[in-house]
Structure 1
Amino acid sequence: MPFDPTARPLTANEARVLATLMEKARTVPDSYPLTLNAVVTGCNQKTTRDPVMNLSDAEAQEALDSLKLLSMVFETSGGRAMRWEHNFQRAVGVPDQSAVLLGLLMLRGPQTAGELRINAERWHRFADISSVEAFLDELRERSAEKGGPLVVLLPRAPGAREPRWAHLLCGPVDLSAPAGGGAEPAAPALQARVEALEAEVAALRGTVQRLCAELGLPAGTPTGGG
C-alpha cells in the first residue's frame, strides 16, 4: 500500500535525510548514491534549508535505518563505504514531478507555487506556474485508497500576495497558527528586493560621483549647504 502519513508520519530527521537524497540524486548525480558522511553534510547545509539542522552521524544513520524499513531508501555497495539512495517515487506512489515538489517542501519549508517553480530549476523545469499548481492539486486531492493527501494549502499570511503550500509527510499541519512562519517564507523575496535596491542605490551613487567629478563639484556635498 502507498505511504500513508496519517498512519506513520515521518520524523523531521527522516524527512531531511530523505529529501537530501532526493536533491543530490538530481543536482550532483556524479557523487550519488551518497555515503553516510555525504548525507550528513547535505542535511546540515546552511543554504536552501528551512529549518537549518545539525544532525549527527548517529541521528542520520537512525533515520536511514527507519526509512529503509519503509522502503523509502536502500543501501548499495560502491567503493569502500556503504552508499544510500532513495526510492521515494515508488514507495509513495507519485509521479516524478510531484516527487520534486514534495522534496523541495521537505527541504525548504512552505512555499508558494511560484517559489516552488523557481526552486525546482535544478531538479525539474516546470513549464509554468499552472503546471506546478496542477501537480500540487493532485497531491492535495490524493484519495484515501492511495494514502490520502500529501500537501495542504496554508491560509494566506498577512501581507502576503500568494498562499503557501506545505507537505503532510510529517503529519498534519496546524492551520490555526500560521503566524510563526508567516514572515519567514517571504524573507527570501524580501531579501532579494533589498539587495536589488541596494545595488540600484550604489549605481546611482556612482553616477552622482562621476557627474560631480566632471563638473568639478565635491562629491557628497549636502544639498543646500553653504
Structure 2
Amino acid sequence: MIDSLPELSLLETRILGTLLEKQRTVPDTYPLSLNALQSGCNQKTSRNPVIEAGEAEMLVALDALKDQGLVREVSGGRVSRFEHLLEKALGVPSQASALLAVLMLRGPQTAGELRLNCDRLHRFADISSVEAFLEELASRTEGPLVVLLPRLPGARESRWMHLLSGQASLEAVPAASSAVVGSVEEMDALCARVAALEAEVAELRRLIREGAGQQWHG
C-alpha cells in the first residue's frame, strides 16, 4: 500500500479507469496491450471528457503510474501488456474500485448515476449501498479518495468526485455542471410537451370516433 495519495494527471486517471473497466468487461483480453489501452482511453462513449492521447503520451503516463506503484507491465509474449494495481496500492475493495473507475472515466456523478454506470463493473443492490462505499472512500484515515460536491442551484442531488487528481476545484464545478442542470430543465420541458401532444392525440381520436358513430347512425 502506497504511503501517500497520488495526484494524477487526466491521462493517468483515464488509464487507470480504463484498466479497471476492461478488467471486468473484457477479462479475456486483460491485461491490455498498449494499443488496446490507448483505444480504451480515447473511445468516444462512456468518457467525459473525450480525449485523443497519442502513443508517446501514453508511454510517459504509464511510466509515471509504474513509478507510483499503480500500474505494472506484464512480461511475456510478443506484446507488452499492462495491468492496474490500484486496489492493492490504495487498499480499497473491488466495489469501491468500480466506483472510482466510473468517476475517473465519466467525471462527477450522483449516487444514482454511479449505480447505473457501474452496472457492468459491479452490480450494487441499491443506492444506499453505493452511498455506503462512497462515504467509506470519503472518510479514509489515509486520505479521502472522493468528495461530495455542494448541490448546485436547480440540481436535485449532489454529485461525487474522485480526488486522485488533487483537491476538487469548487469554482470549476458550476461550469462543469451547467450541462447537467440544463439537461434536467430540458427534460422537464420535453415531458410537458409530450404530455400535451398525448392529450391532443387523445382528443383527436375521440372526435374521430364520434364522427364515425354519427355517420354510422346516419
Matches within 5 A, 1:98-137: 98-137=96-135
Cα pair distance change 1:75/1:133, threshold 3 Å: same
State how far apart, in whole Å, the 2-side matches of 1:21 and 1:110 are.
Answer: 19
Runs of 5+ consecutive residues of structure 2 not aligned to the other structure: 212-218
- In structure 1, the residue corresponding to 2:81 is in which secondary structure? strand
**What whole-Å deviation, never above 9, does each CA across 1:23-52 have from its counterpart, x for those lacking one?**
111111111111111111111111111111
Matches within 5 A, 1:161-176: 161-176=156-171
- Name the count of aligned residue pairs: 212
- Report deviation, 1:76: 1.3
Letter in 2 for 1:152: V
Cα pair distance change 1:207/1:175, threshold 3 Å: same
Cα pair distance change 1:85/1:189, threshold 3 Å: farther
Kept in 2, the 8 Å contact 1:152–1:166? The answer is yes
- Report deviation, 1:191: 7.8
- Higher normalized helix content (fraction of residues): 2
Letter in 1 for 2:32: L
Relative to structure 2, which stretch is displaced further, 196-205 or 26-35? 196-205
Letter in 2 for 1:101: L
Kept in 1, the 8 Å contact 2:34–2:81? The answer is yes
Letter in 1 for 2:92: V
- In structure 2, the residue corresponding to 1:137 is in which secondary structure? helix
State how far apart, in whole Å, the 2-side matches of 1:194 and 1:30 are.
Answer: 44
Cα pair distance change 1:94/1:50, threshold 3 Å: same
Sequence identity, in percent?
51
- What residue in structure 1 maps to residue 20 of structure 2? 22
State how far apart, in whole Å, the 1-side matches of 2:189 and 2:146 are.
Answer: 31
Runs of 5+ consecutive residues of structure 1 not aligned to the other structure: 217-226
Cα pair distance change 1:75/1:177, threshold 3 Å: closer
- In structure 2, the residue corresponding to 1:103 is in which secondary structure? helix
- What residue in structure 1 maps to residue 55 of structure 2? 57
Cα pair distance change 1:197/1:92, threshold 3 Å: farther
- Report deviation, 1:177: 3.9
State how far apart, in whole Å, the 2-side matches of 1:175 and 1:201 are.
Answer: 39
Q: Give the one of 41, 44, 47 matched to 1:43.
A: 41
State how far apart, in whole Å, the 1-side matches of 2:145 and 2:53 are.
Answer: 25
Kept in 2, the 8 Å contact 1:50–1:108? The answer is yes
Task: State whether structure 2 residue 174 is matched by structure 1 residue 182.
Answer: no
Task: State whether structure 2 residue 7 is matched by structure 1 residue 9.
Answer: yes
- Report deviation, 1:3: 5.5
- Report deviation, 1:79: 3.4
Letter in 1 for 2:156: R
Relative to structure 2, which stretch is displaced further, 55-64 or 172-181? 172-181
State how far apart, in whole Å, the 1-side matches of 2:168 and 2:78 are.
Answer: 41
Letter in 2 for 1:159: G
Kept in 1, the 8 Å contact 2:149–2:158? The answer is yes
Letter in 2 for 1:68: K
Query: TM-score normalised to the size of structure 1?
Result: 0.81
Matches within 5 A, 1:181-200: 181-186=176-181
